[in-house]
A and B are shown apart, each in its own frame.
Chain A
């Protein structure tokens, strides 16, 4: 079955494909209708392209051209390969929930170790349970973003996690998304709800099993941090060198709630992470940070939209990119301050370090401020390592590579140090050091 979901000429005559795929996608009753509507929304827009402001630097029509057919359900061999890879990225203390080729794999997950206050279901379970039909509409919601609509139409599985009022989940929840196939795509969609005063840490790791290549991953995470809740979300994309990963996070933050977001991309060929955060309750706080480590021909785009919808909210963002070889880094940071959102404090700092002559970085900060009593600032830089610093270190006994490495670590450390939990910070640091070692 070599069928293509959407052509470079923007998705004509592909509805047949949805019809063909529907049989393999979960959900009866209303669900297929919701999927069809989402697919129509996708078809109307087609793959995003450079003439759309939000996708200016990441033209999917030229970068990926087409959406690949749905990955087959993983067989025993695929699960075994996925298991071997998932073990390598396990975060210290975390409970693992594993999705393989877009399908939840309970046999690879630590379901027996879940804390009582943590409720986990697979998306498939939720969609197939008619009693939760209301959930279907919520989970498969679309936006005017075509890749999110496509995800709503095609989502094959994901996790639906909820934590009731006042509960703290001690161990990090790690969703490991493994691709085992080649030239196929996986659409995953997860839903995370923290009720009032709940606390949790959710790590999302995108990886490939040995031998997987040229696949496409499209993931959406919808999260709600209720009033006074605290959510720490870490996302790490370490896909196969020729893989595409398009991930979207849609996160709403309630009154006096806190969201700590960290995104790291360290491999793949085309990567887009788009986070849409709405600070919708007064006194809520966002700390959004990330590091992109880019080499070869990787194109890594981080796009963050923060909506200050109410007064007295704070958002701080620090993103760093290290770009080597022919890599390209894109950072777009849009901060919207609504007319009512007085006393907003928002800051955004993006810096790119270019390690080769062909490396490229695009920084686009956008401030849309409609309130007058606010404190907003942004700064963006890109440039090479400072030769005087490198020489100072070499004159003190460090080799050129070690000198560069120390300076690069310091550079990305500016963002990594924002991760509060020691085990997560150490995990990210170790991944970054691994990337740096491989560069040598």
Chain B
């Protein structure tokens, strides 16, 4: 079943075109990797899918389960099952991680027509997912991401992904700033969430992550377009030859 369908997408910021005719089709159960040099528009694409204000879609469309995603508020997209793990998760002082997770989870459950979780149910769920990601109770008592290391912030993104049970996960450079141990924890958390109903788009600059999260498809992005698509072997090719060949192609 097709989850995400992007057709001839054009996106501009401040009248500068950043996504320049991008096509992508993602089915349930698939893991797609998007690779590309810095500045090629990977984060912009992820933001536009999630609904961040400030971008102007000047052409094309994005369908999610056949519905026009661009017409939806960001929270509606989340409720429909779109999840973005941010490249730079923000810190929110004064809102404890616990309060944030509960508020967000209940908002999504409500929008999906399910009841709110009771406190014991919620705590049980949190315990289940936090333990395997090495997220301590102390971290959850602090403000969202406040004082977290880069790796802790990324683990917190994966925690939310596990909690909200989205059907499309977009992971924007989830590997950046992680040492090898942290990368293993994060990757195994993500792999544990792979399922036939769920699709993932793994955005990365480096091939390294794809040793741990093995994709079904790899797309090379350059200057706002997908310039080459292939299987997982494309990532190895990129590792050997670099992005230079594609920059001229775009």
Contact = CB atoms under 8 A, between A and B. Distances in A.
Given A411-B94, A414-B94, A397 B53 contact: no
Given A391-B52, A394-B51, A399 B94 contact: no
A395 B166 CA distance: 12
Interface stretch (A36-44, A142-150, A165-173, A402-410): A402-410
Contact of B78 (A386, A395, A409): A395
A406 B97 CA distance: 12
B222 interface: no
A389 B92 contact: yes
Q: Which of A386, A409, A410, A413 has the most CB of B within 10 A?
A: A410
Interface string B103-116: 11101100100000
Interface string A389-431: 1011111111110100011011101100000000000000000
B73 interface: yes
Nearest to B160: A396
A389 B90 contact: yes
A320 to B, nearest CB: 11
Interface residues of A, number: 22
Contacts of A406: 95, 100, 103
A389 B146 CA distance: 13
Number of chain B interface residues as a range? 20 to 34
Contact of B74 (A391, A407, A413): A391
Contact of B90 (A392, A411, A414): A392
Interface in B87-103: 89-90, 92-95, 100, 103
A388 B95 contact: no
Contact of B95 (A391, A395, A397, A407): A407
B93 A410 contact: yes
Contact of B75 (A394, A409, A413, A414): A394
B44 to A, nearest CB: 14
Contact of A397 (B89, B93, B94, B104): B104
B84 interface: yes
A407 B92 contact: yes
B79 interface: yes
Contacts, number: 73
B58 to A, nearest CB: 21
B86 interface: yes
Contact of A399 (B50, B52, B75, B143): B75
A389 B160 CA distance: 16
Contact of B79 (A389, A397, A414): A397
A211 interface: no
B64 interface: no
A392 B104 CA distance: 11
A319 B230 CA distance: 58
Nearest to B106: A397
B194 to A, nearest CB: 22
A399 B78 contact: no
Nearest to B94: A410
Given A398-B103, A398-B104, A402-B107, A392 B94 contact: no
Contacts of A397: 75, 78-79, 104-105, 107-108, 111, 164
Nearest to B107: A397
A131 B74 CA distance: 72
Contact of A395 (B74, B100, B111): B74
A406 B90 CA distance: 15
B107 A398 contact: yes
Given A398-B104, A398-B107, A406-B95, A392 B89 contact: yes
A389 B77 CA distance: 17
Contacts of A400: 73, 75
A407 B144 CA distance: 12
Contacts of A399: 73, 75, 107
Contacts of A386: 90
Contacts of B75: 394-400
A387 interface: yes
B78 A396 contact: yes
Interface string B69-84: 0000111011100001
Contacts of B50: 395
A386 to B, nearest CB: 8
A410 B78 contact: no
A44 B77 CA distance: 66
A396 B104 contact: yes
Nearest to A394: B74
B96 to A, nearest CB: 9
Interface string A366-402: 0000000000000000000011110111111111101
Interface in B140-186: 143, 160, 164
Contacts of A393: 92, 100, 104
A399 B108 CA distance: 10
27 contacts: A387-B54, A391-B52, A391-B53, A392-B89, A392-B90, A394-B51, A394-B75, A394-B78, A395-B74, A395-B75, A395-B86, A396-B75, A396-B78, A396-B100, A396-B107, A396-B160, A397-B104, A397-B164, A399-B73, A399-B75, A399-B107, A400-B75, A402-B103, A406-B95, A406-B100, A409-B94, A410-B94
Given A392-B92, A394-B51, A397-B78, 19 more contacts: A389-B92, A391-B53, A391-B74, A392-B89, A394-B74, A394-B78, A395-B75, A395-B77, A395-B84, A396-B100, A396-B107, A396-B108, A397-B111, A398-B75, A398-B103, A402-B107, A406-B100, A409-B95, A410-B95
Top 9 nearest A-B pairs by Cβ distance? A410-B94, A394-B74, A397-B108, A396-B104, A397-B107, A397-B78, A410-B95, A392-B90, A397-B104
Interface of B: 50-54, 73-75, 77-79, 84, 86, 89-90, 92-95, 100, 103-105, 107-108, 111, 143, 160, 164
